[in-house]
Structure 1
Amino acid sequence: MENIYAIDGIVPVIDETAFVHPTAVIIGDVIIGPGVYVGPLASLRGDYGRIIMKEGSNIQDTCVIHGDGRQDTIIEVDGHIGHGAVIHGCVIGRNVLVGMNAVVMDEVVVGANSIIGATAFVKKGMVIPEYSLVAGAPAKIIKTLTDEDLKHKVLGTQKYQRLARRSHASLERVQPLRELPADRPRLTREQVWPEHLLDK
């Protein structure tokens, strides 16, 4: 972890089982819990207020997490923040998916087991009930979800939880190969999928 900064004497707290990509930037009052994955070029700026990522949550490449200090910015357990999303001064509930390039603004509360669609704009102060599918700009509640609807989301989050462990175990900086080996391996389902699903 190279880009970890204190500000005004406040140092980020990162659980030893969390994985933070070396190109991610973590500043100030940021608390990252067990099994969290923080992807390449993500920015978590706890320079105005507290950011909390709870156990098993993930933020992917180029996400921005920030706030204005009036309330903590929280990603609850198993929260899943897709590539390029912006999370600003809000609460993302347990087992919520925020789709790619979505924006969730200040004082929003997203209820557990909800999905925010890709590119959605969730305006300031919106309160989203549990099990909601939300999409559009400005975002609107489209329908109520079921546990069956959430199966794909749960699998995706479990893959990222495994990716945190895989990254600790095997991610390394290397020089590229100049030629394609004839016996070049591919990643397998056994390497990528959650371990408890491999026998199903």
Structure 2
Amino acid sequence: MTCYAIDGVIPVVSPKAYVHPTAVLIGDVIIEEGVYIGPFASLRADFGGIHIKNNANVQDSCVIHGFPNTVTIVEEYGHIGHAAILHGCHISKNVLVGMNSVILDYAEIGENTIIGANSTVKAREFIPANVLALGSPAKVIRPLEDKEIAWKSKGTEEYICLAQRCLNTLQEVQPDTELQAGRLSYKVFVSQHEIKIDPDKIT
């Protein structure tokens, strides 16, 4: 990973977290155990702090920053989708922030809530717990069903496992120039317990 101290303030990263080598951490960043930080994520705590709590994930190309005298918080099991931007906000436990969404200063997202992809939550907005919110500006659409919260939690568990997989096996290599006999690949499968979710209701 790429880490920088500023004004003598050094990031803190649990050895049980995974931060991709292309991610950048600056200043007052705290990363707890079980966390996954994806490629090209930028966590820049040179004014306010950033605290990513246990088993949360911050995916590829996310940007997290904040104003002075604030702490941008992602609580336990928070799930921050690709290219999302968090600025001086509070993401509560087990929240999903959809891809390319923006959560602005002093906004708070309640537990278990899903923010749909490409949404913007305005500064100082409060989105309550257990709802689906989307749009720009984001509006509450409806309460979430239990199966939708379970679907979200299942996805987050996969990222907790991914953090461990990366700690154990991720390594930089040169690509093969052609397919090799017996090459490992990921098999596509459908679990008999898979929860079916209508994607039109989420994004």
Shared fold per TM-score greater than 0.5:
yes
What are the equivalent positions in structure 2 for 1:1-200 lying under 5 Å apart? Answer: 1=1, 3-188=2-187
How high is the sequence identity, in percent, across the aligned residues?
Answer: 51
Q: Deviations over 1:23-51 (max 9, x none)?
A: 00000000000100000000000101110
Q: Deviations over 1:11-69 (max 9, x none)?
A: 00001100000000000000000100000000000101110000000000000010012
User: How far apart in 2 are the matches of 1:59 and 1:49?
Assistant: 18
The residue type equivalent to 2:4 in the other structure is: Y
Give the match's secondary structure for 1:47: strand
The residue type equivalent to 2:131 in the other structure is: S
Question: What is the number of equivalent residue pairs in this alignment?
Answer: 191
Gapped runs of 5+ residues in structure 2? 194-203
> Shift in Å at residue 150 of structure 1?
1.1
User: How far apart in 2 are the matches of 1:185 and 1:31?
Assistant: 36
> Shift in Å at residue 132 of structure 1?
1.4
> Shift in Å at residue 187 of structure 1?
2.2
Give the match's secondary structure for 1:179: coil
TM-score (norm 1): 0.92
TM-score (norm 2): 0.91
The residue type equivalent to 1:164 in the other structure is: A
User: How far apart in 1 are the matches of 2:37 and 2:184?
Assistant: 26
Gapped runs of 5+ residues in structure 1? none
User: How far apart in 2 are the matches of 1:35 and 1:87?
Assistant: 20
User: How far apart in 1 are the matches of 2:20 and 2:141?
Assistant: 35
User: How far apart in 2 are the matches of 1:186 and 1:45?
Assistant: 35
Give the match's secondary structure for 1:4: strand
> Shift in Å at residue 147 of structure 1?
2.3
